[in-house]
Amino acid sequence: SQTIHQWPATLVQPVGSPLSLECTVEGTSNPNLYWYRQAAGRGLQLLFYSVGIGQISSEVPQNLSASRPQDRQFILSSKKLLLSDSGFYLCAWGAGTNYLTDTQYFGPGTRLTVL
């Protein structure tokens, strides 16, 4: 069966520090991968999606970036965190041919607090 992992589960970082959040999927090949952010009191926002190794599409301009160095690994990064980067980050995967209507399976999330 397929599983999705995210780490760390909780992270507290100072403003200006770098960020690296990792997401890995097991039990499937060539998944579509997604990064979402849920800021306090707001809905989920799609940040990045990837349909294959090295293919990253960005939904919103920001100081975050994403990379997919391996088929089942998706990394969310920042060179310098801002206070506004605080939130709950969710990774998801899907296996459909149309990434827009994928049934998406979400990881447990990472709660990031920037101080």
Partner 1 sequence: AQSVTQLGSHVSVSEGALVLLRCNYSSSVPPYLFWYVQYPNQGLQLLLKYTSAATLVKGINGFEAEFKKSETSFHLTKPSAHMSDAAEYFCAVIAYNNNDMRFGAGTRLTVKP
Residues that bind partner 1 (CB under 8 A): 4, 36, 41-46, 49, 57, 59, 90, 92, 99-101, 103-109
Beta carbon of residue 15, minimum distance to partner 1 (angstroms, whole number): 26
Residue 91 contacts residue 34 (beta carbons within 8 Å): yes
CA–CA separation, 111 vs 88, rounded Å?
A: 4
CB atoms within 10 A of CB 97: 9
Beta carbon of residue 59, minimum distance to partner 1 (angstroms, whole number): 7
Distances (CA, A) of 6 to 15, 74, 88, 98: 22, 10, 12, 24
Q: Which of 79, 95, 76 is nearest to 87 (CA)?
A: 76
Residue nearer to partner 1 on the CB measure, 3 or 30? 3
CA–CA separation, 62 vs 87, rounded Å?
A: 14
Beta carbon of residue 91, minimum distance to partner 1 (angstroms, whole number): 9
Residue nearer to partner 1 on the CB measure, 45 or 65? 45
Beta carbon of residue 77, minimum distance to partner 1 (angstroms, whole number): 21
Residue nearer to partner 1 on the CB measure, 15 or 39? 39
Residue nearer to partner 1 on the CB measure, 23 or 75? 23
